[in-house]
Amino acid sequence: MASATLLYFVLTWSSVRVGKSVESLFNMKCQPAVGVIGQTTHISCSIDYFPISINTVVLTRSGEEKPCFTFQPYVNRVTGDSRFKVENGPSLQLHNTAISDEGEYWYLIRTSLGNEKVKFTISVTGKYSNPIITFVPEKIVNGEHADLYCSASGGYPAGTIHWFDRSNTNWTKSATLQSTQGNDGLFTLSSKLSFQKINRACAPYRCVVLNNKYEEEGENTFHLEIKGLFNMKCQPAVGVIGQTTHISCSIEYFTDPKPISINTVVLTRSGEEKPCFIFQPYVNRVTGDSRFEFKAENGPSLQLHNTVISDESKYTYFIQTNRGTDKVKFTISVTSKYSNPIITSMPEEVVDGEHADLYCNASGGYPAGTIHWFDQSNTNWTKSTTLQSTQGNDGLFTLSSKLSFQKINRACAPYRCVVLNNKYEEEGENTFHLERKDIPLHTPAGDSIVKNSIAPLVLIGSLIVGLLIVRLLKRSCDSQLKRVISLDRSVDFSKDPDDVEDEKALIEPI
């Protein structure tokens, strides 16, 4: 039925036509097609008489012999690139358009009224991303050197970037454009606008991305007047494990000191992309680590509650305000105080003149500290010690310092160990008293008789003989140390209760 109608048309049409070439009895036209990468390109063609019955469609790229696409409607047979489809008579569709589809094509159709061959082009475009403006140096100051960069990517074909200022003055001639084509064929544009002296009065600067037909595809602006309004500063913060660390920041105004209001704060650890803390005061919204706290009344200062060792890091702190943005870097360092040291001995019962090791241990500190040893006369014994510093799974350090004696000398006791943090500040100390284990046992009664009758004598004797003996003993303590010590200590000895005890110990047997 359909073919009968067609035949009727064909006959009518051909009888009307006069002067048409023998090749075909009709005309076909195709518009140049413009496709978008990844989308469907419509190749619009028309025949000046319709309907017509198409027997074969053959599409060949200009310069190639082998057709890239053929279609025979009656047998519904496709060969070649299946992304092509015949739709609406001679019009075509090209699905999932690629840059490589760009070119000239020969389009041949065979119909019941003869054959026709036309040429058309496919061109392909890709839209550029909205441009991003970056700048050097990090803080642009009015009247100083500055480079602005405007970049957009993912476009095709190569486009361009134009620059304008607040009064729409065209700055493009002062800019340099770099256009690079990726492996995917898409272009990245980057335009650099250099100022020897950037002028706030001309800001905002605007960059516009244009495609190859000079149609605008996107734009962005750079607000210099806002950048130059204020300057944020943060002090390095030192926190204590388990406590609240105060990160003290302040704002310095360049121009009129109208108070600003902070809209968003973003804190990012150095080396990480994802912020660790974001706060938007107006909607009271916190994302990230809730141990951080921002209080609007403290300016841009922050608090970090329940500080842990892993908080030690460099941070980048960005604030957005009603009058512009700023970004600073600061560090958090963490400390923990060492426990008061404990002194233990090996053997447990130390005997004067015999071998002994003294251990001074302190734990729970951070960062690694050290332990120093002194004797009664404040002589520094640290060089004769060995320090062991071990870090627990919790990151905290345990210090253990060992002071070894071949023959421990009671005359030098008490020995004192001092725990110092990594800044050599004293965090605690302890002393080791050498107990007398060799006192001969005597009755309490005899003791009191002795005390009553000869106490005054002993006392005077103590003062005279004791001082002499103490000097003697000190010399032996010194000789054991084998080092030179300043001589101002004899004054201290007489005041030390341990010295008095030593004196008594020496006098008692008399």
Ligand X SMILES: *[C@@H]1O[C@H](CO)[C@@H](O)[C@H](O)[C@H]1NC(C)=O
CB 361 → ligand X: shortest distance, Å? 4
**Is 383 a binder of ligand X (CB under 6 A)?**
yes
**Is 416 a binder of ligand X (CB under 6 A)?**
no
Which two structure tokens, joined as six digits, stand for 426? 């004293």
Residue of 342, 368, 469, 506 interacting with ligand X (CB under 6 A) = 342
Residue whose CB is less far from ligand X, 162 or 200: 162
**Is 361 a binder of ligand X (CB under 6 A)?**
yes
> Which DSSP helix (H) or strand (E) runs through 121?
strand 114-125
Residue of 31, 270, 380, 391 interacting with ligand X (CB under 6 A) = 380
Residue whose CB is less far from ligand X, 162 or 474: 162
Cα 304 to chain centroid, rounded: 18
Which two structure tokens, joined as six digits, stand for 179? 């256009």
Question: What sign results for the dihedral spanned by CA atoms 86, 92, 94, 99?
Answer: positive
**Is 173 a binder of ligand X (CB under 6 A)?**
yes
Measured distance CA(280)–CA(296) in Å, rounded: 10
CA dihedral 405, 410, 414, 415 (to 10 degrees): -10
Residue of 46, 172, 298, 333 interacting with ligand X (CB under 6 A) = 172
Size of the site for ligand X (CB under 6 A): 14
Q: Which stretch binds ligand X (CB under 6 A): 33-41, 226-234, 378-386, 499-507?
A: 378-386
CB 383 → ligand X: shortest distance, Å? 5
Residue whose CB is less far from ligand X, 56 or 363: 363
CB 407 → ligand X: shortest distance, Å? 22
Which among 197, 258, 266 has a CA at the least distance from the CA of 229? 258
Beta-carbon contacts of 222 under 8 Å, excluding residues fewer than 6 positions away, are: 133, 135, 148, 203, 204, 205, 206, 207
CB 355 → ligand X: shortest distance, Å? 16
**Is 162 a binder of ligand X (CB under 6 A)?**
yes
Which two structure tokens, joined as six digits, stand for 98? 């690629």
Count how many residues are written for the chain: 510
Q: Which stretch binds ligand X (CB under 6 A): 294-302, 307-315, 317-325, 382-390?
A: 382-390
**Is 382 a binder of ligand X (CB under 6 A)?**
yes
CB 381 → ligand X: shortest distance, Å? 8
Residue whose CB is less far from ligand X, 66 or 173: 173
Radius of gyration of the chain measured on its C-alpha atoms: 46
**Is 170 a binder of ligand X (CB under 6 A)?**
yes
Measured distance CA(330)–CA(238) in Å, rounded: 11
Measured distance CA(394)–CA(392) in Å, rounded: 5
CB 388 → ligand X: shortest distance, Å? 6
Residue of 84, 156, 330, 359 interacting with ligand X (CB under 6 A) = 359
Measured distance CA(363)–CA(392) in Å, rounded: 10
Q: With contact defined as beta carbons under 8 Å apart, do 107 and 120 qualify?
A: yes
**Is 344 a binder of ligand X (CB under 6 A)?**
yes
Q: Which stretch binds ligand X (CB under 6 A): 64-72, 165-173, 179-187, 326-334?
A: 165-173
Residue where the block lists tokens 């009727």:
8
**HSE of 349, CA atoms in CB hemisphere, 13 A:** 3
Measured distance CA(383)–CA(372) in Å, rounded: 9
- Residues lying near ligand X in the complex (CB under 6 A) are found at 162, 170, 172-173, 342, 344, 359, 361, 372, 380, 382-383, 388, 400
